[in-house]
Amino acid sequence: MYKRISFVLGVLLLGCVTAIPSVAQAQVLVAQANNAELKRLLEDGKRLVDAGDYNGAIAVYQQAAALAPKNAKIHSGIGYLYAQQGNFPAALASYRRAIAINPNNSDFFYAVGYIKGNMGDTKGAKEAYRRAIQINRNNVSAYIGLGVTQSRMGDYQAASWAFAQAIKLDKNNAQTYEFMGQMYKQRRQNKQASNLLQKARDLYQRRNDTGGVARVEAMLQQL
């Protein structure tokens, strides 16, 4: 069982944030395929993903990767599906293959940060998030991930900086305020935590995210 902050990170970042790439890009991959067999495999893989058959989709995408071994997005797609299943070692291996092909993709490094965080490698997660930010200074999700990992490591100044950068880029991202509020809550700085969590709750309410509202309300009740 991971620490609570790691659990919340998993629920939010894998489930809601779009930075872990590839399944959302499945239609793009199909459209870009110039090989009939590859296109068929990618179409089959997309159908299996849509049906929730991740094992079947992984097997099909692995066949596609054999036909197009230099296609980083296919490897990242496999990594995404493994991460969805909680098979983080396999997910990490797939994203490393993607990075070997395209080392300048910020989203791939963000995904590695997420995966390493869930494997308990907080230091490795921090470095991956920092690399994602170096490549793309506008990667909001990477700043949030960096804030969470720095908080877990006890470097609250660095965590606050990362969260502040995320807010500069997107002041309406409820997750940023939630994680900041949780950080202050853990430090027993209840006034700051309350202000941030209320902001997060309001933003979740605006987008009708009942799960987010309930989660934040529970934390507010603990203050």
| Cα distances (angstroms) measured from residue 170 to each of 21, 164, 192 | 19, 10, 20
Q: Is the pLDDT of residue 111 over 70?
A: yes
Condensed to tens digits (0 to 9), the pLDDT of residues 128-150 reads: 999 999 999 999 999 999 999 99
pLDDT band at 12 (very low <50, low <70, confident <90, very high): very low
How many whole angstroms separate alpha carbon 169 and alpha carbon 137?
A: 9
Of 28-37, 71-80, 172-181, give the lowest mean pLDDT range.
Answer: 28-37
How many whole angstroms separate alpha carbon 49 and alpha carbon 35?
A: 21
User: What proportion of the chain, given as a percentage, has pLDDT over 70?
Assistant: 85
Which residue from 133, 140, 112, 151 is spatially nearest to 16, judged by alpha carbons? 140
Condensed to tens digits (0 to 9), the pLDDT of residues 186-206 reads: 899 999 999 999 999 999 999
The amino acid occupying position 107 is: D
pLDDT band at 30 (very low <50, low <70, confident <90, very high): very low
Q: What is the pLDDT at residue 38?
A: 84
How many whole angstroms separate alpha carbon 49 and alpha carbon 186?
A: 38
How many whole angstroms separate alpha carbon 17 and alpha carbon 111?
A: 11
Let me know how long the chain is.
Answer: 223
Can you state the angle between helices 54-67 and 36-50, rounded to 10 degrees?
160
Q: Is the pLDDT of residue 16 over 80?
A: no
Q: Is the pLDDT of residue 46 over 80?
A: yes
Q: What is the pLDDT at residue 34?
A: 60
Q: What is the pLDDT at residue 115?
A: 92
The amino acid occupying position 57 is: A
3-state secondary structure of 74: helix
Q: What is the pLDDT at residue 13?
A: 39
Average pLDDT of 149-175? 95
DSSP label at 214?
H
Neighbours of 51 (CB within 10 A): 10
pTM of the model: 0.83
